[in-house]
């Protein structure tokens, strides 16, 4: 790899003598966690690397990791725009307003913000249909629980997380009418210690299958120690819990990063609100454990197929929220815009969304 | 709430409080000698990564703990040299140490991200663990938790009842007077700083070898800062530090347990708490008249130059 970039460099220098070498297309990334988190930021960075490999020297990428959501983010994004990046991906919900602000100041640069809803002429958004993975997870959890209590470690009560809790619970209930869900918020995307504490608190209260919407593998390690089941998120976390691990819902951002970068390079880019899931190969079930009962495995595969083929959408009415209001009428499937505004728990979740 | 759940909560409280206890015990000794080291987080991360790598390479947890403590102490020596010999500003140097440790630990640990190891296993102490409730809460932990009990007890004794403790206090209260009666002020401060570093390293090792047996970047998530706040809350008393560490542990556990029971607590409010605590500490440390009331070492944060008179 080093040798190759050296050769590219030499080639560029040689080119300088005769004509101006073409500047590589520059793409910047902003990550909320460390790239070594083995979760959210790790997967974005894997997508970045694959994208860079795909363009084979024609695209140059930089990234900034561990950027707090807020004033710091605005500074980092501005810096990336100033230093000549043509396209900038900002990869956390809290970067939405900073990204929009900077996008207005740098109209020639293209911005893409993950998980947000604000767009501009030069700013699009993209998100994963994580609820698809959660729905399959919920089916597995509902079948595997013996105490009829599944647990969910939440990060922040934003629509994406709430929607996934709903998907999980609806799925679990569809295979196990008696199932209950216990939800614990840790107010962090990434704090292995706190995630461990949350996992233990859930297990102390009878939870025997655990899901998480936080990024470290700590809850899986805790589950392995106590001999219960857990489902990994964002990246393949099977190595942390060989027995406990059911499967991981793995993110894959590379297809989108390649597609978008191509569009901006070709001048065909239009800001859109892109949602990628099983069908787009941006979500997959990684490392399904061999130690699952056969019928559970079959049900997992069946549910995956149904969503992947487009036959089934988890948010199809009638759906009632836990206060008794009909939130999705019969026959209606929530549109992406509506999905982005989910702020209610479905019927049967004995808890309230924190405000 | 039944008795089993309460037992579990208190058991978890001890585990959650233990890393805070380790760092805070190291820091209080350092501060008693008059030196404020804000580099806890950096030293802790270095201790965590080095301990984890050693355990992976050698399979020997005892050696890993030793390496973590040595690493923490070595990091603190850099700090010691800068503030004691070159008279650098303690606050700025400490912050730099944290930033340095955070970056360096991520760099050297990048190769072991995602690896797993067994870590410390619980040791059930016979007889004592059979005591109802208390036995489960106090005597079914792993070796490092017991070690934290022992270190706290020994330090409380040394600081309050021995000549060594008196020397340490003398240096922290009035280094010039201590110097005049023949105490080697800089030597005492060096040792106190190194002790603080070793304890931070140990806290890091607890994180990566017992609490969450793995290494990922920045895995301490600000515990070093909370421990700094703890020292002030405890008004520099070792008994209070133990209480404070467990109180903080209890608060964070209760927040999680209550949610599991269906209580809704504003996450924003709770997310603020450690930061509010840190702000309070900063205010208190920078306001002199408060210091005496809170029994802070009188020369805390001030460089010592033997050529100057007090």
Q: Which CATH number covers residue A336?
A: 3.40.50.2300
Give yes or no: residues A44 and A111 share one domain: yes
Give yes or no: residues A135 and A121 share one domain: no
Between chain A and chain B, the number of residue pairs with CB atoms below 8 A apart is 117
- Given B213, B218, B267, which is nearest A185 (Cβ)? B267
Give yes or no: residues A134 and A207 share one domain: yes
Residue A230 has pLDDT above 50, yes or no: yes
Residue A296 in tokens: 């559970």
List, for residues A6-47, the tens digit of each pLDDT value.
444 444 444 443 344 467 899 999 998 888 777 888 999 999
Burial class of residue B130, CB neighbours in 10 A (0-12, 13-18, 19+):
exposed
User: Which pLDDT belongs to residue A5?
Assistant: 44
Residue B288 has pLDDT above 90, yes or no: no
Q: Which residue has the higher pLDDT, B84 or A68?
A: B84
In a domain, A145, yes or no: yes
User: Which pLDDT belongs to residue A71?
Assistant: 82
In a domain, A136, yes or no: yes
Residue A244 has pLDDT above 80, yes or no: yes
- Of A136-140, A255-259, B186-190, B250-254, least confident by mean pLDDT is B250-254
Average pLDDT over residues A45-50: 95
List, for residues A263-277, the tens digit of each pLDDT value.
999 999 999 999 999
Closest-CA residue to A209 (of A117, A267, A137, A107) = A137
Give yes or no: residues A75 and A190 share one domain: no
Give yes or no: residues A78 and A214 share one domain: no
* CA atoms of B107 and B95, how far apart (whole Å): 19
Chain B neighbors of A353, CB-CB under 8 A: 264
Distance in Å, alpha carbon of A264 to nearest chain B alpha carbon: 33
- Of A97-106, A125-134, A228-237, B122-131, least confident by mean pLDDT is B122-131
Give me the sign of the Cα torsion angle B36, B38, B40, B45: negative
Per-residue b or e along B42-59, where b marks 16 or more CB atoms closer than 10 Å to that residue's CB: bbbbbbbbbbbbbbeeee
Given pLDDT bands bounded at 50, 70 and 90, which one contains residue B69? very high
Given pLDDT bands bounded at 50, 70 and 90, which one contains residue A183? very high
User: Which pLDDT belongs to residue B112?
Assistant: 86
Give yes or no: residues A119 and A165 share one domain: no
User: Which pLDDT belongs to residue A107?
Assistant: 94
Closest-CA residue to A169 (of A354, A345, A15) = A345
User: Which pLDDT belongs to residue A68?
Assistant: 85
Average pLDDT over residues A174-191: 91
Give the DSSP H/E element, type plus range, for residue A326. Answer: strand A326-328
In a domain, A293, yes or no: yes
Q: Is B267 on the interface with A (CB under 8 A)?
A: yes
User: Which pLDDT belongs to residue B299?
Assistant: 86
Residue B96 has a CB neighbour count (10 Å cut-off) of 18
User: Which pLDDT belongs to residue B267?
Assistant: 58
* CA atoms of B73 and B210, how far apart (whole Å): 21
Q: Is B118 on the interface with A (CB under 8 A)?
A: no
Chain A neighbors of B53, CB-CB under 8 A: none
Give yes or no: residues A124 and A59 share one domain: yes
- Confidence check on the interface: ipTM exceeds 0.85, yes or no: no
Count up the domains in chain A and report the number. 2
Average pLDDT over residues A121-139: 95
User: Which pLDDT belongs to residue A13?
Assistant: 42
Residue B286 has pLDDT above 80, yes or no: no
Name the interface residues of A facing B (CB cutoff 8 Å). Answer: 33-38, 66, 151, 156-157, 182-188, 190-198, 200-202, 204-205, 207, 216-218, 221-222, 239-240, 350-355
pTM (2 d.p.): 0.80
Give yes or no: residues A99 and A168 share one domain: no
Residue B207 has a CB neighbour count (10 Å cut-off) of 30
User: Which pLDDT belongs to residue B272?
Assistant: 65
Interface test with A, best of B99, B102, B260 (most A CBs within 10 A): B260
Given pLDDT bands bounded at 50, 70 and 90, which one contains residue A300? very high
User: Which pLDDT belongs to residue A15?
Assistant: 40
Residue B188 in tokens: 């005492």
User: Which pLDDT belongs to residue A252?
Assistant: 95
Give the DSSP H/E element, type plus range, for residue A246. Answer: strand A245-251
Per-residue b or e along B63-87, where b marks 16 or more CB atoms closer than 10 Å to that residue's CB: ebbbbbbbbbbbbbebbbebbbeee
The last residue of one of the domains, among A113, A128, A143, is A128
The last residue of one of the domains, among A72, A95, A128, is A128
Contact A197 B253 (CB under 8 A): yes
In a domain, A118, yes or no: yes
User: Which pLDDT belongs to residue A14?
Assistant: 42
Give me the sign of the Cα torsion angle A302, A304, A306, A308: negative
In a domain, A14, yes or no: no
Residue B52 has pLDDT above 50, yes or no: yes
Average pLDDT over residues B171-188: 92
- Of A28-32, A317-321, B304-308, least confident by mean pLDDT is B304-308
Residue A143 has pLDDT above 90, yes or no: yes
In a domain, A261, yes or no: no
Give yes or no: residues A41 and A161 share one domain: no
Give yes or no: residues A230 and A289 share one domain: yes
Interface test with A, best of B114, B117, B274 (most A CBs within 10 A): B114
Give the DSSP H/E element, type plus range, for residue A231. Answer: strand A229-234
Q: Is B153 on the interface with A (CB under 8 A)?
A: no
Average pLDDT over residues B75-85: 95
Q: Which residue has the higher pLDDT, A158 or B308?
A: A158
Q: Above pLDDT 70, what percent of chain A? A: 94
In a domain, A19, yes or no: no
User: Domains of chain B (ranges plus CATH)?
Assistant: 3-294 (1.10.3470)
Give yes or no: residues A53 and A140 share one domain: no
Give yes or no: residues A176 and A201 share one domain: yes
Domain hosting A294: range is: 130-250+284-340
* Residue of chain A whose Cα is closest to the Cα of B16: A197
User: What residues pair up with A232 in beta bridges, in sequence order?
Assistant: A248
Omega within 30 of 0 (cis) for the link into B65: no
Contact A36 B253 (CB under 8 A): no
The last residue of one of the domains, among A103, A128, A153, is A128
In a domain, A101, yes or no: yes
């Amino acid at each position: 790899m080093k040798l190759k970039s050296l050769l590219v460099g030499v080639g560029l220098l040689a080119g300088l003598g005769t004509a101006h070498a073409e500047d590589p297309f520059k793409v910047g990334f902003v990550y909320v966690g460390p790239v070594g988190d083995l979760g959210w930021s790790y997967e974005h960075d894997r997508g970045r690397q694959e994208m860079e490999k795909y363009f084979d020297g024609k695209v140059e990428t930089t990234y900034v990791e561990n950027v707090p959501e807020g004033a710091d983010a605005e500074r980092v994004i501005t810096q990336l725009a100033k230093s000549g990046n043509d396209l900038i991906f900002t990869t956390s919900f809290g970067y939405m307003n900073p990204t929009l602000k900077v996008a207005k100041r740098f109209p020639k640069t293209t911005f893409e913000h993950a998980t947000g809803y604000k767009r501009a002429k030069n700013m699009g958004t993209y998100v994963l249909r994580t609820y698809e993975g959660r729905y399959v997870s919920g089916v597995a959890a509902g079948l595997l629980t013996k105490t009829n209590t599944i647990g969910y470690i939440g990060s922040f009560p934003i629509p994406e997380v709430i929607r996934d809790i709903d998907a999980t619970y609806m799925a679990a209930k569809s295979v196990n009418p008696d199932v209950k869900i216990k939800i614990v918020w840790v107010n962090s995307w990434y704090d292995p210690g706190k995630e461990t504490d949350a996992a233990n608190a859930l297990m102390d209260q009878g939870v025997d299958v655990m899901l998480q919407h936080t990024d470290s593998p700590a809850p899986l390690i805790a589950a392995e120690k106590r001999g219960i089941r857990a489902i990994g998120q964002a990246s393949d976390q099977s190595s942390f819990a060989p027995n406990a691990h059911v499967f991981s819902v793995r993110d894959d951002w590379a297809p989108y990063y390649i597609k978008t970068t191509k569009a901006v390079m070709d001048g065909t880019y239009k800001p859109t609100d892109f949602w990628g899931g099983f069908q787009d190969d941006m979500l997959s079930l990684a490392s399904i454990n061999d130690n699952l009962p056969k019928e559970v495995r079959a049900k997992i595969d069946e549910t995956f197929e149904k969503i992947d083929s487009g036959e089934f959408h988890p948010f199809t009415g009638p759906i009632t929220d836990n206060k008794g209001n009909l939130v999705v009428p019969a026959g209606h499937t929530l549109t992406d815009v509506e999905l982005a505004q989910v702020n209610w728990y479905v019927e049967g979740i004995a808890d309230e969304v924190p405000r | 709430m039944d008795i089993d759940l309460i037992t579990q909560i208190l058991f978890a409280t001890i585990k959650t409080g233990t890393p805070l206890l380790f760092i805070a015990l190291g820091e209080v000794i350092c501060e008693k000698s008059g030196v404020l080291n804000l580099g806890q987080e950096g030293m802790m991360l270095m201790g965590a990564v080095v301990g984890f790598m050693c355990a992976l390479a050698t399979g020997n947890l005892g050696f890993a703990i030793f390496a973590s403590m040595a690493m923490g102490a070595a990091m603190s020596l850099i700090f010691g040299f800068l503030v004691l010999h070159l008279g650098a500003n303690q606050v700025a140097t400490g912050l730099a140490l944290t930033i340095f440790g955070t970056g360096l630990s991520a760099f050297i640990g990048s190769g072991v991200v995602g690896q797993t190891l067994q870590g410390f296993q619980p040791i059930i102490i016979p007889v004592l663990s059979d005591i109802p409730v208390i036995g489960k809460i106090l005597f079914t932990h792993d070796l490092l938790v017991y070690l934290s009990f022992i270190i706290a007890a020994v330090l409380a004794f040394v600081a309050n009842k021995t000549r060594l403790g008196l020397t340490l206090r003398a240096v922290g209260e009035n280094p010039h007077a201590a110097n005049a009666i023949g105490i080697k002020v800089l030597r005492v401060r060096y040792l106190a700083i190194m002790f603080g570093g070793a304890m931070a390293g140990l806290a890091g090792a607890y994180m990566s070898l017992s609490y969450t047996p793995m290494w990922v970047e920045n895995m301490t998530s600000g515990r070093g800062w909370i421990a700094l706040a703890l020292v002030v809350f405890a008004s520099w008393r070792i008994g209070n530090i133990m209480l404070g560490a467990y109180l903080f542990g209890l608060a964070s556990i209760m927040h999680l347990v209550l949610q599991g029971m269906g209580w809704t607590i504003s996450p924003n409010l709770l997310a603020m708490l450690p930061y509010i605590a840190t702000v309070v500490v900063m205010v208190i440390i920078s306001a002199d008249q408060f210091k005496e009331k809170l029994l802070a070492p009188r020369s805390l944060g001030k460089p010592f130059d033997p050529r100057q008179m007090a």
